[in-house]
Structure 1
Amino acid sequence: MDPTADGAEHLPGSDDTALTTGAVARRLGVSPTTLRSWDRRYGIGPQVRGTGRHRRWSPRDVAVLENMCRLTSQGVPPAEAARAARAGADGAPAPERPATSGSRAAGALPLGDVRQECRGLARAAVRLDAPAVEDLLTAAVEEHGLVVAWQEVMVPTLHAVGRKWASSGDRYVEVEHLLSWHVSTALRRCTRPAVPYGGLAPGPVLLACVPGEQHTLPLEALHAVLCQLGVPVRMFGAAVPAEALTAAVRRLGPSAVVLWAQARSGASPALARHVAGAEWGMKGARRQPQVVLGGPGWAGRSAPGMLRPPSLQEALRLLAGTGVSPGPGPV
């Protein structure tokens, strides 16, 4: 099968407008498994079947699916959404869920100008369609590489979900949790086995959140790419107590310690200086780590002698001593 200009795939010998299930799934941001399930359970399937078991989706079929996706993303139960989507295709107006006061429809996410993959990922997350979220994250990493997939697909979608959650009270917290879980899973799937450290300089990079900080996904992304680059790294994750971190510094003799703070309340320059002051080595040849500050919590904080890279690429340049191409392909 040959890809068309819009990335869709057509079945050989079929009408030019008939799309394969895979092409429709990519266009709508759902998984092929979800489309087959909707077809089997609710009759939301192609009107024309190809030879064998192939499905051929006409423009009318795709329009029905688009209505199904829109309604389910607004919180309509799948069975009800299917009836409404079919009715809309037959000429009856499909019901709309009311928009929140002064805003867009209840299920829409404020994405702005982003890659098309973000829109599909956001729709799948709002529907709580875990198979589609998994498929879309995997495809983004395979197509763009881990750095670009993180910065241009995962992060904008996570931010949009976070903004929607913040503006809707406690609504959409389940969407944020599901998306975060699958982003974490995708990052760990990309992570190569830890590189052994034999005690020779430079030491490993230590990655830790400040005390009380639970947001680990940016550190997980940094950890995955450093492992891919063959850099020795130790991941400590969320809410590391200051004394535990300084004890680890003295034991491992790291080349750098990355301190992540999402919130300003946890970004303490005194803590950073405390970690930077940890020493190891023989008397007369004592060494100290380079502290690297990460996260929006450090904005506007004065921390002389410490680095604050503005992007993942710059952090990688500092920590791995190499430039990382943001182009397609594995990092």
Structure 2
Amino acid sequence: MSEPPSESPGTPVPPGGLTTGAVARRLGVSPTTLRSWDRRYGIGPAVRADGRHRRWTPADVAVLETMCKLTSAGVPPGEAARAARDGGAATVTAERPVRTEPSARSGAAGTLPLGDVRQECRGLARAAVRLDAPAVEEQLTAAVEEHGLTVAWQEVMVPTLHAVGRKWASSGDRYVEVEHLLSWHVSTTLRRHTPPPVQQDGGAPAAGPVLLACVPGEQHTLPLEALNAALGQRGTATRMFGAAVPAEALTAAVRRLGPAAVVLWAQARSSASVPLARHVAGTRWGVKGARRQPAVVLAGPGWAGRSTRGMLRPTSLPEALDTLSALP
């Protein structure tokens, strides 16, 4: 199925102009933000079709692009609006040096190193750098609704999160706030699309759920949240334990729940404990003569290069879904 064309800053504006929604997708700004800029600062379309409907001309869009570059560089909206209306960043006072947005290849401040990605990633990245929470929320929701949760996670959320992480790592303490805001809204979107826990007839919890846990010391939960949501959409019962689950608590939960599988996430090699994984795999429950053990699924880059014979090792969300769906 072909995808509808998406607007980008390099795409020519049609002669009839763009709608507010098209401009929002083009620049990674929420329509609410555009209307707010129009109302507060006069950054709006010069002409409205039929006196009511907004149509943004090439000149209007150019002003908006300057406004976005300046606000991404940390210029207050009021000052950025004045500069944008007056013709660009050169009019901003000398006391406030402004970094206009160069190409992503340059890696300069104000941009994220995205590479060859979906257009949605660029809009999401621009919104995140501006700390435009409404736009971030809107773009994440639109990605899930258009592509489905698995594709949205792999091809929109993950590339943008990685780009933010690389920017943070190369910029010292800068851009930490961008990563926190984006991570929060990704988590919110994933939970919003997670169905309620699966129940058996009569209201009893479904037997043999998939247990999802980060290993001790591991705080990165977003990949597990994505897996939890995707499993829920497939009707698979899960129990999500989240970040840094102590080894004793993990073992106790396995004995109490009798899970079909235990997914252990490790982002870093330092936290990926093979002895812990083997201990979980050897945990047994049930009556004598019919005792069972869980399948152990090792997820995350921390397990790479480790000797994990006898344990499952998916390397992507679709592979993890297929692996867990194939279990008895």
SS of aligned partner of 2:161: helix
Contact 2:69 2:100 in 1 (8 A): no
Instruction: Give the TM-score, by structure 2 length.
Output: 0.89
For the structure 1 residues 199 and 22, does the alpha-carbon distance in structure 2 shift closer, same or farther, using more than 3 Å as the test?
Answer: closer
- Which residue identity does 1:86 align to in structure 2? R
Q: Counterparts of 1:84 and 1:308 in 2: how far apart (Å)?
A: 53
The one-character-per-residue Cα deviations of 1:210-260 (angstroms, maximum 9, x if unpaired) are 011111000000000100000011000001001111111111111100000
What code does the residue aligned with 1:127 have?
A: R
**Which of 149, 153, 158 does residue 150 from structure 1 map onto?**
153
Give the Cα–Cα distance (whole angstroms) in 2 for the partners of residues 320 and 74 of structure 1: 46
1:260-299 map, 5 Å = 260-299=265-304
Aligned residue number for residue 327 of structure 1: none
1:221 aligns with 2:226: yes
Shift of 1:97: 2.4
Instruction: Indicate the residue corresponding to 1:205 in structure 2.
Output: 210
CA drift of 1:7 comes to 4.5
Secondary structure at the aligned position of 1:306 is classed as: coil
Whether 1:161 and 2:164 are equivalent positions in the alignment is yes
**CA separation of 1:287 and 1:6: change in aligned 2, threshold 3 A:** closer
Which AA in structure 2 matches 1:173?
V
1:104 Cα deviation (Å)? 3.4
Q: Following TM superposition, by how much is the alpha carbon of 1:6 offset from its aligned partner in structure 2, in angstroms?
A: 3.8
Instruction: Give the match's secondary structure for 2:298.
Output: strand
Task: State the secondary structure of the residue aligned to 1:206.
Answer: strand
Paired amino acid for 1:88: G
Give the aligned partner of residue 36 of structure 1.
Answer: 35
CA distance in structure 1 between the aligned counterparts of 2:157 and 2:26, rounded to whole angstroms: 18
- Contact (CA 8 Å) 2:199, 2:205: kept in 1 or not? no
**Structure 2 unmatched ranges of 5 or more:** 8-13
1:38-71 CA-partner distances (Å, limit 9, x unpaired): 1111111111122353211101000111111111
Q: Distance in 1 between matches of 2:5 and 2:85?
A: 26
**AA partner of residue 148 (structure 1):** V
**Deviation at residue 169 of structure 1 after TM alignment:** 1.1
Matched, 1:231 2:230: no
| Residue equivalent to 1:74 | 73
Q: Which has the higher contact order (CA 8 A, sep 6+)?
A: 1
What's the counterpart of residue 23 of structure 2?
24
Q: 8 Å contact 1:249–1:278 — kept in the other structure?
A: yes
Q: Residue type matched to 1:161 in 2?
A: V
**Cα distance in 1 between the residues matched to 2:106 and 2:124:** 21
Q: How many residues align?
A: 308
Match of 1:113 among 112, 116, 121: 116
Q: How many angstroms apart in 2 are the aligned matches of 1:200 and 1:137?
A: 31
> 2:308 is matched with which residue: 295, 298, 303?
303
Scaled by the length of structure 1, what TM-score is found?
Answer: 0.88
State the alpha-carbon separation in 2 of the partners of residues 135 and 216 from structure 1. 22
Q: Spell out, residue by residue over 1:149-184, the C-alpha distance to the aligned partner (whole angstroms, 9 max, x if none).
A: 000000000000011111111111111010001001
SS of 1:259's equivalent in the other structure is strand
Q: Give distance in 2, aligned partners of 1:42 and 1:246.
A: 58
2: distance between equivalents of 1:199 and 1:44? 55
1:129 aligns with 2:132: yes
Among all aligned residue pairs of Structure 1 and Structure 2, give the percentage whose two residues are the same amino acid.
78
| Equivalent pair of 1:30/1:132 in contact (CA under 8 Å) | yes
Check conservation: 1:97, 1:105, Cα contact below 8 A: no
* 1:97 paired residue number: 98
